[in-house]
A and B are shown apart, each in its own frame.
Chain A
Amino acid sequence: MTPATKIGLSIAVATGLYAISYGALGVAAGLSLWQVMALSLLMFTGGSQFAFIGVLSGGGTPGAAFGAATLLGVRNAVYGMQVKAMLKPRGWKKLVAAQVTIDESTATAAGQQDPEEQKRGFWVAGIGVYVLWNIFTVVGALLGDALGDPKAWGLDGAAVAAFLGLLWPRLKGGESIAIASVCALATVLAIPMVPPGVPILVAALIAGVWGYFGKGPATEGLEPDIEPHTSREDHS
């Protein structure tokens, strides 16, 4: 196996396992097993899937859940552009590549120097995460179903931890922490004033405007959930 293949596989296993928590939380949020699975098969972008169920479990409307999930997926357009520049996929491969364009596959490809390795890294991580993510989604959903009362098992606490875990690796440097703090504060202030789910969209608006007119580094927030480099395998 080449270094890119190894990194892609290890990221696929680590990321695929998250789906257990997604599946369990999805069922606890009130989605059916099929709806939980549909999001993993078709939406396939973890942050957005967590956002969708997070808004629902907070009492938000399905429309607000759609809004939060869609906005959180906007970064994938930037990833698509980066992958297109590296891999130059053609025809139907472009359509498949688009579906597996996520944090992890983009980061694995971007972490390689050689174009062939970039290609291998992207496809191994992308397809690997896709397969394992969907398998572990079913495992998690069945587990969540079997648990019964989600609160007794602290599943609402698990959701809090999951979002903090997704945010954490993106907090690099002062500006990202400032954005997160201001958006967190705006959310707390907005909760009593607007319908459930809408505070998240208020925070999105603030962050989007801040980023557009800000001066921070262009890649802020566009980091993978798991570091795509391992010092052990770094011998390029």
Chain B
Amino acid sequence: MSALWWWVLAGCAAAYGIKLLGYLVPERILENEKMTRAAGALTIGLLASLTIVNTVASGSEVSFDARFAALVAAAIALLLRAPFLVVVIVGAVAAALVRFLGWG
């Protein structure tokens, strides 16, 4: 099996382990307000970072290309309260269109 497969399976095992942890540990350990806040902030920070990485990273370089158009178009769709799948399609269409017109 390839190294990638092992990382996939390790990720799956870790995800289940974390879920189960919530059911197994005594409440007072995790019901600490600091831990809850850290988990919430972590979620926001990671998603913000993933958004940016997918928008501007090309390996170890920052580049502005068709993906930036996708970000703007998706933000507009979200402001207009479009459902998730529509937002994703809008992002794809924006990037494809801008690229078709010869940028990025």
The residues of A with any CB-CB pair to B shorter than 8 Å are: 14, 17-18, 20-21, 31, 35, 38-39, 42-45, 47-48, 50-52, 54-55, 57-59, 62-63, 65-66, 68-85, 89, 94-95, 97-99, 101, 151-168, 170-171, 176, 179-184, 186-188, 191-192, 194-196, 199-200, 202-204, 206-214, 216, 218-222, 225-226
Contacts and interface: CB of A to CB of B under 8 A. Distances in A.
Interface residues of B, number: 78
A206 B52 CA distance: 15
Instruction: Give the secondary structure class of B's interface.
Output: helix
Nearest to B78: A168
B39 A222 contact: yes
Contact of B19 (A77, A155, A194, A210): A77
A75 B44 CA distance: 11
11 contacts: A58-B57, A68-B50, A70-B14, A72-B43, A76-B18, A81-B27, A155-B92, A156-B67, A161-B77, A161-B89, A170-B44
Interface in B31-84: 31, 33-62, 66-67, 69-71, 73-75, 77-78, 83-84
Mostly, the A contact residues are helix
A66 B18 CA distance: 13
